[in-house]
Structure 1
Amino acid sequence: MSVDGGAQRLKTEADEPGWEVDPDDDWGVAVVATVGRQLRLRREAVGMRAAELGAATGYGEDLIYKIESGKRIPRPEFLDKADEVLGAGGLISAMKEDVAKVRYPKKVRELAKLEGRAVEIGVYECISINGLLQTPEHARALFEARQPAYSRDEVEGLVAARMARLSVFGRSPAPSLSFVQEEATLRRRVGGTMVWRQQLERLLEVGRMNNVTLQVMPTQSEAHPGLSGRIELLKFEDGAAVGRSDGAFNGRPTYEPKQLRILELRYGTIRAQALPPGESLALIEQLLGET
């Protein structure tokens, strides 16, 4: 199979960081192995070599073999192209949803699942910008600062996982989202000036959404119930709820009504002490203007 006179450079592993299979994720390993086996069986059934499939999809032969052997997570767009090239009639493309979930660590998948069901989400953050509010560049800078350091592949996988959670903003009907950020988290120039500016612009964009309330807790405020750490509350359509706080119940998620009332009381007090939404956005605009 010719490929534009051989001028096209095919993707290799180095071009696809962050798409390795976590060997400790049994479900993920099983999904990727199943997809790879079906891809190989279909390719062999139509009499196509791995190199030919690679050329048709823009992937190197070695990368095709790794996908087929269950050692690499295929991108959704690759599955679509492979389905078309192999004439699979949608059977390969149909596996995209499960494959997309596999890329994200188990803890992230569980969190994203809860956020995807929640009708209300409330978060107080005192250390860093909340993950749902971060830009990819900001998230990457945070992960790259970690010690001991993550590998390049790990960083890219973690960034992709965090960005996948942002689908909560595109849900319909939209959930009610509220965030309280400590002022100090907005002043830390994570990733440098340009990344910081982009992050402030993203906060303004999100803060102006109809279903979002964004507040800032000024550094000069008096003591409040959030000084012991992060608080997160999620409520669901059936009346159930889950909450977590760094400063309560050993930091573990809780579903107990009594414990949830304590977290709700603390979060409500924090929101009452924080700047109102309009003043909060004005402060973020002021910080942006200072760059």
Structure 2
Amino acid sequence: MDEAGWDVEPGDEIEPMVQAVGRLHKVCREAAGVSVVDLAEVMGYGEDLIRKIERGQRIPRPEFLDKADTVLKAQGHLRAFMEDMRKARYPKKVRKLAEMEGRAVELLLYSNHNIHGLLQTPEYTRALLKVRRPAYAQDELEQMVAARVARHSIFERSPAPDLSFVQEQVTLERPIGGKMVLRRQLEHLLELCKLPNVEVQVMPTRHEGHPGMSGLVELLKFEDGTAVGRSEGAFNGRPVSDLRQLRILELRYGIIRAEALSPRESHAFIEQALGRL
């Protein structure tokens, strides 16, 4: 994979922005009197890739724009788009999810197959995505990992949202990526448990059943009183915002949360699971 960026998906809503950045790059390069050949040599990228960026066919990495701004003496005009291009690199469906998570004031999240994406370490995410079939291409895999890691900025937001996670016990024991990857993942979980706005609870396998048996449950609540949610076991897995449907998901999550170990008990459980590795 070339480190300059990723190809633009035709028809994606970010395509016009990427094209505009490409045109700006070309204007800055020509104003500086630098050829594509010379720029490629100085920047350390292929000529074809720079041409693709200028045609709007390739999403430039923020680092590329930062370096190009310096080399072309663009006075910050290229750097101004670094954050936009960082977001544009997310796959389309992840981009929308990240936007909603960025607005949410409360998140209620139950996971039963693997550790929730917001809690994952990069190594765990990479190992998890590698088992997908058909397999991701290497550049697509790294794009997915980068997008998921970027969503972790939710833990740095101010004011901080309230985050509630319930994890099935098996997700803390399945050694995805091997024992060392799982060990680092559990250590990361324990660190997140210390945050005042984060609650992590464990649903013990010994429980005979609960409303989450049919799959994940996710609820995102926003400051204006609206919300969006989804569950693999309701409404065909589609996102919903209807009040009656949201009430059903909230009821299910409430029961799941009540039947799980308390946050303090869960913290001790994760420590014990870590000690067994």
- Please list every run of 5 or more consecutive structure 2 residues that lacks an aligned counterpart in the other structure: none
Equivalent in 31, 49, 52 of residue 63 of structure 1: 49
* Residue 192 (structure 1) aligns with: 178
> Per-residue CA shift, 1:224-257, capped at 9, x if unaligned?
1000110001111111111111111111111111
Equivalenced residues, count:
277
> Per-residue CA shift, 1:136-163, capped at 9, x if unaligned?
1111111111111110011011111111
Alignment partner of 1:147 is 2:133:
yes
How do 1:40-51 and structure 2 match up within 5 A?
Answer: 40-51=26-37
Give the partner amino acid of 1:172.
S
Could you list the runs of 4 or more consecutive aligned residues of structure 1 that deviate by over 4 angstroms after TM superposition? none
CA distance in 2, matches of 1:235, 1:97: 25
Alignment partner of 1:16 is 2:13:
no
Give the SS at the match of 1:203.
helix
* Residue 5 (structure 1) aligns with: none
Structure 1 residues 25 and 218 mapped into 2: Cα distance closer, same or farther (>3 Å)? farther
Q: CA deviation at 1:25?
A: 4.3
How do 1:187-266 and structure 2 match up within 5 A?
Answer: 187-266=173-252
Equivalent in 89, 93, 116 of residue 130 of structure 1: 116
Alignment partner of 1:119 is 2:113:
no
Structure 1 residues 54 and 38 mapped into 2: Cα distance closer, same or farther (>3 Å)? same
Q: CA deviation at 1:79?
A: 0.8
The more displaced of 223-232 and 90-99 is 90-99
CA distance in 2, matches of 1:143, 1:230: 18
CA distance in 2, matches of 1:44, 1:287: 59
Contact 1:138 1:199 in 2 (8 A): yes
> Per-residue CA shift, 1:49-106, capped at 9, x if unaligned?
2233234334343432332232322111221221122121211111122211211111
CA distance in 1, matches of 2:73, 2:152: 33
CA distance in 2, matches of 1:274, 1:182: 9
Give the SS at the match of 1:180.
strand
The more displaced of 117-126 and 95-104 is 95-104
Equivalent in 87, 90, 95 of residue 109 of structure 1: 95
Give the partner amino acid of 1:196.
L
Give the SS at the match of 1:128.
coil
CA distance in 2, matches of 1:88, 1:263: 51
* Residue 10 (structure 1) aligns with: none
- Please list every run of 5 or more consecutive structure 1 residues that lacks an aligned counterpart in the other structure: 1-13
TM-score (norm 1): 0.91
Q: CA deviation at 1:127?
A: 0.9
Alignment partner of 1:163 is 2:149:
yes
Give the SS at the match of 2:165.
strand
Q: CA deviation at 1:15?
A: 4.4
Equivalent in 15, 18, 22 of residue 32 of structure 1: 18
Equivalent in 22, 31, 38 of residue 52 of structure 1: 38
Alignment partner of 1:83 is 2:69:
yes
TM-score (norm 2): 0.95
What is the CA RMSD across the aligned residues, in angstroms? 1.5
CA distance in 1, matches of 2:224, 2:248: 20
CA distance in 2, matches of 1:81, 1:20: 17
Give the SS at the match of 2:14.
helix
Contact 1:21 1:103 in 2 (8 A): no
* Residue 7 (structure 1) aligns with: none
